[in-house]
Chain A
Amino acid sequence: MNLNLLAPELSLGVTAVAVILLDLFLGRKWPLVLVSIVGLAVAAAFSAAMWGGEATNAFHNMLVVDSFSLFFKLLLLGIAALVILASVDYVSRFTERQGEYYALILLSTGGMMLLASARELITIFISVELTGIPLYVLAGFLKDPKSSEASLKYLLVGAISSAVSLYGMAMVFGLTGTTFLDEIREAIPTGRAFDNPALLLGIVFMIAGFGFKIAAFPFGLVVPDVYEGSPTTVAAFLSVAKKAAGLAVILRVFNVALGAPLGISLDWAAMFAVLSAISMTFGNLVAIAQTNIKRMLGYSSIAQAGYLMVGLATVTALGRDAVIFFMASYALTNVAAFIAITAISHRIDSDLISDYTGMARRAPLLALALAFCLISLTGIPVTAGFVSKVYIFNAAVQNRLFWLVIVGVINSVISAYYYLRVVKVMYLGEPASAERLPSSWPLRIALFIPTVGVLIVGLLPSPLIQAAQTAAGVFSP
């Protein structure tokens, strides 16, 4: 029982409990933020200490601590820290439930970290639930009709997708007699998907279940509604952390259990390719019609999941590197965009794009950060988004998926319209009122770090690419 391998998750759990308890006694709430951040930092320190070591199994091989899981753990911890810092302002309106808010984020992050480490189907399922349930609650945190609706929708679709993925896992278990991913690979029947209907069903169900988590079409169709209703910081967390965790589990399951050189890998790769093309196109086209900025980012999330799946469709090491790198840059970009929106929408009490008119005059730095992130999402240099798009399309070309690249670049064009529309609205026109928008310094720090990160990755992507390659190297012996 090597508990020290689980030190990051355990420290998060301890911190979550500590935050809830402290909330009972403290009148002033800022120590809660401090405790949360310290807890996250401790977990990150534990994770960083394990980086570079050998892959080690824990808990009877149900969990593994390797570069892949450590990369995602560090990414998730970073996202959680940024979201918590950005929430300080926002959460002050919940006088009684602040501790719970932080604790839920910490618990969900812990679940996601376990998800990145899981080597076995049931552990995956447990981690998915541990991730999801706090998020269902967080989505409804505002307790107004919209928020409750978002939470309910999220709960229903989340529960269905978990059930569906569980059914898929059951199919695979039935075929192979084991739930351990590497043993599944040994026992999987050879041949292609149509030779083996049960396996095909299993794979399709798993893609459906996990596809919800990365917001792929059509499983993620509820995502815009959820983003619109839930608190903006929660939407930030959802859009990035849940996607990262979902990606981690997809990569782990599909590359270890069903990976190349099994014939079946060509089939799920083809499925991802098709899903990718549809997600990109659907997400981008519908985003054009949106007037609410959170819904727009929700559809953009579906589209970006499409770009992500381009890398999944390649089944090669280059594709895996590209996907992990894309996820990391998307995480930086999107969390910064949402934090900027949190700051602005919170003060003007509106999420409509038209109410962002002239925002550059009222909040120059916030508007600049948001504009920069939107430019990154479009894929214009010098941003992380540009490098990650070129990198992932390159992986696709190298793997003869040229048609997918054509679809992808056409979609980048379509997305330029709605991303730049927000930039245009912010810089053009006169704002409704001329007063400056205040923002707290934790929020500014939380906005500054990822925005600068986007710029740095855009200029010097090598270190992050190197880290992504190390993480993806786990799958190629």
Chain B
Amino acid sequence: MLSAIVFLPIVSAAIIAIFLNKAKHIKVFSAAITFVAFILSVIVWASYDLGAGGFQLIEKTSWIPQINVQYFLGVDGLSVPLVTLTTLLGFCAVLVSWHIELRPKEYFAWLLVLETSVLGVFTALDFFLFFLFWEIELVPMFMLISNWGSAPPLGRREYSAMKFVIYTIVGSAAMLAGILALYFTAGTFDMTELGQATLVAKLIPLPAIFFLLFFGYAVKLPVFPLHTWLPDAHTDAPTAVSVMLAGVLLKMGGYGMIRICVTILPDVARQWAPWLAAIAVVNIIYGAVVTMKQVDLKRLIAYSSVSHMGYVLLGISALSPIGLTGASLQMFTHGTITGLLFALVGLVYDKTHTRQIPELGGLAHRMPRIAVIFVIAGLASLGLPSMSGFVAELLVFLGTFPVWRVAAIVGALGVVLTAGYILWMIQRVFFGPPVARWERVGDAIAIETVPLVCLVVAIMVIGIYPAIITDVIKSGLGPILLRLG
């Protein structure tokens, strides 16, 4: 089942590349495939046995026996929501790309390969396989950003694509060194075994391994000061790619931190947790402050991602049940919320052909649908109760406050700053008197509204009844928390 979900997109990409030629066919096929993947992942979610816990739907065969590498897929409470998030955003990304004119064949093929890669990361339980899937996302991202991104003078797509690749590869290089060091220390690539073993350092000190691996995830999350690739990559990427990037790729970092750094090396994590909390706070506050001064709408949302991922790191640094649950939930909710925000920004750009906030204004008069959903998304982002952002941030702060009091208090300031930039941005862009220039812009049409509505539903359902997801997350975190003791 899991192999089917993971490989369905890439097989479809091959089919598109070889057989399909008309844009219409390609788009409909992609939408169908991503929808099927989404349904399958919902089935996986529904069939996940909360009582049993642990890793389920396991598929395990020996792959490269000479170096103890297995083809090992499995999901637990931590990865099930992330898999579903990926398929959901994959579907939304395809719908958001409906108007792509330039070389749609390659575009959708790369988008599907990207989806496979991220699904593979979330389901892989063999470190070699995990790393393999982690690296696969490089080429699709590079091609997508450099070919379909914002060309000069609007953006610098070649520069951003190369920057993204170089940063990610640097992180992966550190991660590879860490993985090999771990293999040398523990003798296995099996993440389930590593998650239960007590490691004794051989030649390479355990904190070194921890930080090599952490570095790789820190580039992805991203953690200050390794975040500088994010504004460029997010801003210059095409809309759907920004949705995927902000929605799921960043979560690979957080997932890696929890699944690997905290689970395999809990003592080192505990020892360095105060530093993690400190950096998380820097992420939150610095991210928020820089966001406030942005005049490009897309760049503003991009920087807000830096700030919001700080909450994830803050929750992780607490190393407590509530904190980790909050971090995991924040990963899911941020995915939906920021995915929605990027989709909306893309729509605004499509209609008005500008992303500069000073030029926009009074758009609510002309595009009420987009305006309403944008306001919902904005309120979700700043953590308004009844929406999922609130639950996630609440759990993060509840979890962190007992452990790192100061960090939690300063971090909570970030919520205020978020409210500041979100509301100010919405007011400048959508409200206020109508601007003559936007007299004739259209609103979102049906096909454009579908992904928006899907994401809004996701946000509100979790916001109103978070137990749907927190129960699953808690069952997944159970063994990890036992390790932390």
Does B63 belong to the interface (CB within 8 Å)? Answer: yes
Contact digits for A445-477, partner B, Cβ 8 Å, 1 yes 0 no: 000000000000000011001100100000000
Contact digits for B144-187, partner A, Cβ 8 Å, 1 yes 0 no: 00110000000000100110011001100110110011011000
Does B446 belong to the interface (CB within 8 Å)? Answer: no
Bound complex: CA A140 to CA B425 (Å): 67
Contact digits for A69-110, partner B, Cβ 8 Å, 1 yes 0 no: 000000000000000000000000000000000000000000
A48 to chain B, nearest CB (A): 22
A419 to chain B, nearest CB (A): 10
B-side interface mostly: helix
- Asked if A416 contacts B135 (CB within 8 A), the reply is no
Does A428 belong to the interface (CB within 8 Å)? Answer: yes
Query: Which residue of the partner chain, among B66, B135, B184, contacts A381 with CB atoms under 8 Å?
Result: B135
- Asked if B166 contacts A405 (CB within 8 A), the reply is no
A431 to chain B, nearest CB (A): 14
Residues of B within 8 A of A466 (CB): 66
A79 to chain B, nearest CB (A): 24
Residues of B within 8 A of A380 (CB): 135-136, 138-139
Bound complex: CA A42 to CA B95 (Å): 57
Does A402 belong to the interface (CB within 8 Å)? Answer: yes
- Asked if A390 contacts B147 (CB within 8 A), the reply is no
A204 to chain B, nearest CB (A): 29
Bound complex: CA A434 to CA B265 (Å): 56
Bound complex: CA A409 to CA B213 (Å): 13
- Asked if A428 contacts B173 (CB within 8 A), the reply is no
* Size class of the B contact interface (CB-based, 8 Å): 20 to 34
Residues of B within 8 A of A394 (CB): 67, 180, 183
- Asked if A427 contacts B66 (CB within 8 A), the reply is no
Does A347 belong to the interface (CB within 8 Å)? Answer: no
Residues of A within 8 A of B203 (CB): 400, 402
Contact flag A402-B204 (CB < 8 Å), given A394-B180, A409-B177, A424-B158: yes
* Size class of the A contact interface (CB-based, 8 Å): 20 to 34
A426 to chain B, nearest CB (A): 11
- Asked if B66 contacts A416 (CB within 8 A), the reply is no
Contact flag A462-B64 (CB < 8 Å), given A406-B177, A409-B177, A420-B142: yes
Bound complex: CA A461 to CA B71 (Å): 13
Contact flag A390-B128 (CB < 8 Å), given A397-B180, A410-B173, A413-B166: yes
- Asked if A382 contacts B132 (CB within 8 A), the reply is yes
Query: Which residue of the partner chain, among A397, A410, A427, A428, contacts B183 with CB atoms under 8 Å?
Result: A397
Contact digits for A382-426, partner B, Cβ 8 Å, 1 yes 0 no: 100011001101100110101001100110110011001101100
Does B143 belong to the interface (CB within 8 Å)? Answer: yes
Residues of B within 8 A of A417 (CB): 162, 166
A359 to chain B, nearest CB (A): 14
Does B65 belong to the interface (CB within 8 Å)? Answer: yes
Does A375 belong to the interface (CB within 8 Å)? Answer: yes
- Asked if B139 contacts A416 (CB within 8 A), the reply is no
- Asked if B66 contacts A420 (CB within 8 A), the reply is no
Of all chain A residues, the one with the shortest Cβ separation from B179 is A390
B179 to chain A, nearest CB (A): 8
Contact flag A405-B177 (CB < 8 Å), given A386-B135, A416-B166, A428-B146: yes
Contact digits for B203-247, partner A, Cβ 8 Å, 1 yes 0 no: 110000000000000000000000000000000000000000000
B155 to chain A, nearest CB (A): 14
- Asked if A390 contacts B176 (CB within 8 A), the reply is yes
A373 to chain B, nearest CB (A): 13
Bound complex: CA A413 to CA B166 (Å): 7
- Asked if A413 contacts B173 (CB within 8 A), the reply is yes
A392 to chain B, nearest CB (A): 10
Contact flag A424-B142 (CB < 8 Å), given A409-B174, A409-B176, A413-B166: yes
Residues of A within 8 A of B177 (CB): 393, 402, 405-406, 409
Bound complex: CA A405 to CA B179 (Å): 12
Of all chain A residues, the one with the shortest Cβ separation from B174 is A409
Query: Which residue of the partner chain, among B128, B131, B165, contacts A416 with CB atoms under 8 Å?
Result: B165
- Asked if B67 contacts A409 (CB within 8 A), the reply is no
Residues of A within 8 A of B147 (CB): 427-428
A421 to chain B, nearest CB (A): 8
Enumerate 15 A-B pairs (CB-CB under 8 Å) in ascending A order.
A380-B135, A381-B132, A386-B132, A387-B64, A390-B131, A402-B177, A405-B180, A406-B177, A412-B173, A413-B169, A413-B170, A417-B166, A420-B142, A424-B161, A428-B147
A: residues with CB less than 8 A from B are 321, 375, 380-382, 386-387, 390-391, 393-394, 397-398, 400, 402, 405-406, 409-410, 412-413, 416-417, 420-421, 423-424, 427-428, 461-462, 465-466, 469
What 4 pairs between A and B have smallest CB-CB spacing?
A: A409-B173, A397-B180, A381-B132, A465-B66
B: residues with CB less than 8 A from A are 63-67, 128, 131-133, 135-136, 138-139, 142-143, 146-147, 158, 161-162, 165-166, 169-170, 173-174, 176-177, 180-181, 183-184, 203-204
Q: A413-B169, A421-B162, A469-B66 are in contact. List 20 more A-B contacts (CB 8 A).
A: A375-B139, A380-B136, A382-B132, A386-B132, A397-B180, A397-B183, A402-B177, A402-B204, A405-B177, A412-B169, A413-B166, A413-B173, A416-B166, A417-B162, A417-B166, A420-B142, A420-B165, A424-B162, A427-B147, A428-B158
